[in-house]
Amino acid sequence: MADIFNEVDEDVRKEKSLALWKAYGKYVIGAAVLIVAATAGYVGWQNYTVNQSRTQGAEFSAAAALMAAEKPGEAAAAFAGLAESGNAGYRPLASLREAAAFLAVGDGDKALAIYDALSADGSVDPEFSALADLMAGYYLLDNGTTDEVRNRIAPLTEAGSLFNASANELLALTYIKDGETGKARDVLTTLQNDATVPEDIKGRVSQLLAALGGS
């Protein structure tokens, strides 16, 4: 009889965690992706100032304008051209934006292929490879398995690694999705107590911890 009650308790915990994920997970992902995209823009700009190219800058701006005009198909093609011929700064940044354009039209497989290629490209700055793995993790959270996400972001969750805070936030979300609230709390508490974690991430972490505490 005790085993039956334990199974029921476990089912209830997982059901509540899944409800939390459905209600809150997409918001967290959306906010984090915006932050990561801004970071990518900054990294791209740093490379641009070193390898300045007015022509490529104009091409990138034109492709970004197509995205802003809600023409992701055309934007993907424009970013693809720059990803092929761009310099060390624009090429990986254009690849990331091309992947985002494919996601916007619902072609996640193409986006994931771009992330895979960028992650494996030893000729680009490690910031971009790390970012590709993180973005792939966000995509796989809704379109793959939680094990796939954790395998993808494992190197990024280590202390001192690039995008460590975002990666651990994503790691916590995989545990929430699996109903492993104890593991999620451990990761989130570590983030909350880390002085180096950006305030926007800490704000979301606090909200998640509060929600988990009521589960």
CA–CA gap between residue 20 and residue 30 (Å, rounded) = 16
CA–CA gap between residue 80 and residue 74 (Å, rounded) = 10
Tens-place pLDDT, residues 73-120: 998 999 898 888 777 677 888 898 899 889 888 898 999 999 999 999
Q: How crowded is residue 111: how many other Cβ atoms within 10 Å of its Cβ?
A: 24
Are 172 and 209 contacting, i.e. CB atoms less than 8 angstroms apart? no
Calculate Rg over the CA atoms of the chain. Answer: 19
Q: What angle do CA 85, 65, 51 make, to 5 degrees?
A: 35
Are 92 and 120 contacting, i.e. CB atoms less than 8 angstroms apart? no
Q: Which whole-number Å values give the CA distances from 98 to 41, 143, 201, in the listed order?
A: 14, 19, 26
Asked whether residue 192 carries a pLDDT value surpassing 90, the answer given is yes
CA–CA gap between residue 141 and residue 170 (Å, rounded) = 9
Query: 2 or 13, which is more confident?
Result: 13
Query: 140 or 43, which is more confident?
Result: 140
Are 195 and 212 contacting, i.e. CB atoms less than 8 angstroms apart? no
Tens-place pLDDT, residues 45-82: 555 544 556 778 788 888 888 888 889 899 899 989 88
pLDDT band of residue 22 (cuts 50, 70, 90) is low
Predicted TM-score of the model (pTM) = 0.77
pLDDT band of residue 194 (cuts 50, 70, 90) is very high
Tens-place pLDDT, residues 111-149: 999 999 999 998 888 888 888 999 899 889 888 999 999
What average pLDDT score do residues 3-23 get?
50
Q: Which two tokens stand for residue 54?
A: 């007015």
